[in-house]
Amino acid sequence: MKHFFVDTNVLIDLLTQRDRFGQDAAQLLEAAVQQQVRLYVASLSFSHIYYVLRKTNTSTERRDKLSKLARLVTVVAVDASVIDQALTSALPDFEDALQYYAASSISAIECLVTRDPKGFVGGKMPVLNPADALRLLP
């Protein structure tokens, strides 16, 4: 089984059904349901997603979507160590650095899946878009 860390933007694509991007994200989640991949998500992604969905969903709908997501992924803590690493990191974007170091805290994770790789330039972990990540699955 593959182990992928999923950036917040991919999850927002999924939950807002954003055109082409939402389809790739949905296929990635379906692969998790089929146990082809284990997906990991930073704890902070849940608050970001909740905030973004407020424009189109009620509080109950947002909580329902996040509850379903939480059952399909492994939540990775953004703890003091992750924050310290992100603060001293050479990665260009602080929020992406938080995601990167959360992913790096789990040795089983093989790559970080994002729609916006620019914030992860300079990291050692492979960074893939959802379509490329899907091609790695059986």
Kindly tell me if the per-residue pLDDT of 20 is higher than 80: no
Q: Residues 133, 113: contact at Cβ < 8 Å?
A: yes
pLDDT for position 30:
95
Structural domain count of the chain? 1
Of 10, 2, 75, 73, whose CA–CA distance to 39 is shortest? Answer: 73
State if pTM tops 0.85: yes
Label residue 41 by pLDDT band (50, 70, 90).
very high
Label residue 18 by pLDDT band (50, 70, 90).
confident
β-bridge pairing 37-42 and 74-76: parallel
CA distance 58 to 64: 10
Q: What residue ranges in the chain does DSSP mark as E strands? A: 2-6, 37-42, 74-76, 111-113, 127-128
Kindly tell me if the per-residue pLDDT of 106 is higher than 80: yes
Q: What is the mean pLDDT of residues 7-35?
A: 90
- pLDDT digits 0-9 by tens, 49-97: 999 999 999 999 999 999 999 999 999 999 999 999 999 999 989 999 9
- Give the largest Cα separation in the chain, rounded: 39
Kindly tell me if the per-residue pLDDT of 3 is higher than 80: yes
Kindly tell me if the per-residue pLDDT of 119 is higher than 90: no
Label residue 19 by pLDDT band (50, 70, 90).
confident
Burial class (CB in 10 A: 0-12, 13-18, 19+), 7: buried
H or E element, residue 49: helix 43-53
* DSSP one-letter code for 61: H
Overall residue count recorded for the chain in this entry: 138
Helix 59-72 with 8-16: angle, nearest 10 deg: 120
> What CATH number should be reported for the domain holding residue 80?
3.40.50.1010
Residue span of the structural domain in which 17 resides: 2-135
